[in-house]
Structures are given as structure tokens and as C-alpha cells.
Copies of this chain bind each other. A is one copy, B any other.
Amino acid sequence: MEPLGVATEHPPLNRVPWVPLEDLVLGGHDVCGRALSASAGELVSAGILSQDLVTGAAPEAAAFEAQIRPGPLDGPEVGLADLDPRSGELGAAAPRDQIDQLQTDWDDFEREHELVRTVVVALASTEAVREPQPEWEDLERFEVALDEGRPQPASLIYAYAALSSGRPHVNFTPNLGAGSPALRQLAEHHGVPHCGSDGKTGETLMKTVLAPLFTARALRVLTWQGYNMLGNRDGEVLRDQSHSEAKLRNKEEVLRSLLGDDPALCAKVGIDYVPSLGDWKVAWDYVHFEGFLGTRMSLQFTWAGCDSALAAPLVLDLARMAAFAAERGESGVMEHTACFFKAPLGGGTHDFHRQYARLLEYAARHSAGD
């Protein structure tokens, strides 16, 4: 089967000597006790995966499942039915104990599979937004907070555990993760590459491709409304406003940044939980714009994508890029990965094509035989 969606397997990115896909070993932490086969069954029912594929890959899936350990549950839980109770216990433990547990699990995993390196990819649902804490601003203060046992969001626990043990970290979620100054200092201190945050897979991806067109053609965008519907766990979690806040903020900032922060711009993003969609995400965007002599025109699009099928290959791409960067001794934010994120840690333009051009340059520099 052709590895569609995995950009690092296609020209021109496939000319970089990334770790081969067949050398990757999957493991992970989860807060949810549901069997992988149940999740796969949902994707089959939704017409996303074929039954044959799921049946054929059952041994690999079982092997993966055997590697999954309970991860710390982030404080304010959202009442999902099938939480693994051990996740709640771990999440209630002292931060240093949570970190130790994660690192022990990773050590075991590496030993068992004789691995060269583990890349930690954050793929959790959206956390509730917290008030910014002073200890997030500075590594030393963060260390003190950990010593004092002050509870931290799970995303920071993971990021700290990864970076402090020299493991590259990819934050595919809108959660804080390694995005705070304290954690970024940690990555620099340990010389570890990392990137994030908030994978750009659907409606926002479209925005970062389309908005630069309006700017290039000197057309003024008056309104850009985006209505998102999704039916999976992420959608269920996002029903809680404290959880959707971070995601919505990222989506709106992208657009305002690309369109030049016009105060008159009306740009709203909504997300609704629509259970019947299952893993599908349907977004409708309406763009109202003004051109020559004040003529008002419109563009509307409907994007019907499958969340897992769009995100999964990017995770493979990013894991390979992080492993490659670590192997080469790169440290800190991986700026060439900006095109994968709604809120790239390195900042810079949100224009997808300009972000992608930067990735192409990186790839050209590191292409085999060049």
C-alpha cells in the first residue's frame, strides 16, 4: 500500500535519510482503557478503514497495544466513560513521581526493543486552559515547583519527562506542553530538539493556504467565518468551553496574523460536537471579501476530512524529523516543521507555502548524496 499522506515518503522529502518506517516501534501512554480494536472497529464502521486492513494488521495492533501504559490524567477530567482508573491515580501523584514513572516506562520500552532513541509525541485531547503560572516562565522556578509538589498540567509533565531525559518532544496538541519558557530552556539545556504545537490538518490548513492569496491580490477580507463539526472524542472533550478555548484561540490568531490584523475583520471560529460524524470533521468556511471599486465577492468551502487519517501520517513525519534532528545534534525548536502546526513554537509566518518552502530548504540541505 502506497504511504499516502506521509510526506517524508514522497519526493522531494524522501531524499533525506530519515529512519525507515519499518524500523519504528510504537508504544505509548493513554488515560483511556478502551481496546485498540474497539477504536479500529469505529473507524471501519465510519467507512474510514477497511475491515481487511484492520484484520490484516491485527497482530501489529496487538503488539502496539501491549506497549501502552497508563498515563497521568490531567486534573480537570471531563467525564469520559472508559477512563483507566490507574491514570487517575497517577495524575494525582506528586509531579516528580509522575515524571519518574514516565521515564521508567520509556527506559523499559527502549531496553525491551533495543531502541536507539524514543521520540515522545503528545497526542492527548485538549486540556482545560489554566491561568498562567509564574513557574512556567523560568526553568529554575519550575524545578522548585516540581520539588514542592505543585500540580502541573499533564502536558507539561510529559514534556518535562521527555526533554529532561534527552528525548525529542513533538507537541501535536494545543496544550501548553513544551511551549512555555521554562520547558524551552529545558530543551536548550539538554540539547534536545522539539517542536509544536497543535497539528494543522484541516480547516486551519486551508486557511493558511488561502488567506495569503487574498493578501497577494490586494483583496480585503471583510469576514471569515469558520464552522467546524466533529464527532470523535476530541469533539466530546471540546464541548467543555475551558477545553475548546486554546484550540479556538490558535485558529483565530492564525487568520488575523495572515490578514494583517485588520480591526474591522469579522473572523469567528466555532466548533460543535456532532456525534453522528464519528471520526469525520466537516468544516464550512465563508469568506466575504472586497475588491476593485468596492465590489464584494465570496468564497465558501466545505472540507470533509477524517481526523485520524489526516493526523496519523503527520505524526510519522514529525517523529522521523525529530529523530533525525536528534541524531544530528540539533537542539531547541525545529523551525523547519512550522508547516505542520497551527501555533509553531518558532513563530514566523503562518503562510503554509512559505512554511513549506522552509521545510524544502531543510530537506535540500540534508538530502542523501547532495
Contacts and interface: CB of A to CB of B under 8 A. Distances in A.
A227 B286 CA distance: 11
Given A7-B217, A295-B49, A304-B299, A223 B274 contact: yes
Given A1-B294, A5-B217, A299 B301 contact: yes
A192 interface: no
Contacts of A301: 299-302
Q: Which of A5, A223, A312 has the most chain B CB atoms closer than 10 A to its own CB? A: A5
Interface stretch (A93-101, A130-138, A208-216, A330-338): A208-216
A83 interface: no
A213 B223 contact: no
Interface residues of A, number: 76
Given A209-B210, A299-B302, A49 B229 contact: no
A132 B172 CA distance: 49
A48 interface: yes
A286 B282 contact: yes
A288 B313 contact: no
A115 interface: no
Given A10-B218, A284-B284, A286-B282, A313 B297 contact: no
Interface stretch (A29-37, A143-151, A264-272): A264-272
A212 B274 CA distance: 22
Kindly report how many copies of this chain are found in the complex they form together.
4
Interface stretch (A72-80, A251-259, A352-360): A352-360
A85 interface: no
A305 B312 CA distance: 28
A139 interface: no
Interface in A186-228: 205-206, 209-210, 212-213, 216-220, 222-223, 225, 227
A6 B220 CA distance: 11
A116 interface: no
Interface in A326-365: 339, 351-354, 356-357
A369 to B, nearest CB: 21
A48 B270 CA distance: 29
A65 interface: no
B293 A1 contact: yes
A276 interface: yes
A216 to B, nearest CB: 5
A4 B46 CA distance: 18
A274 B282 contact: no
A46 B222 CA distance: 14
A129 interface: no
A295 B223 contact: no
A218 B10 CA distance: 7
Given A212-B353, A272-B268, A306 B313 contact: no
18 contacts: A4-B293, A5-B217, A7-B216, A7-B218, A9-B218, A48-B295, A49-B293, A209-B210, A212-B353, A216-B353, A223-B274, A225-B227, A227-B227, A291-B306, A292-B313, A295-B306, A297-B305, A353-B353
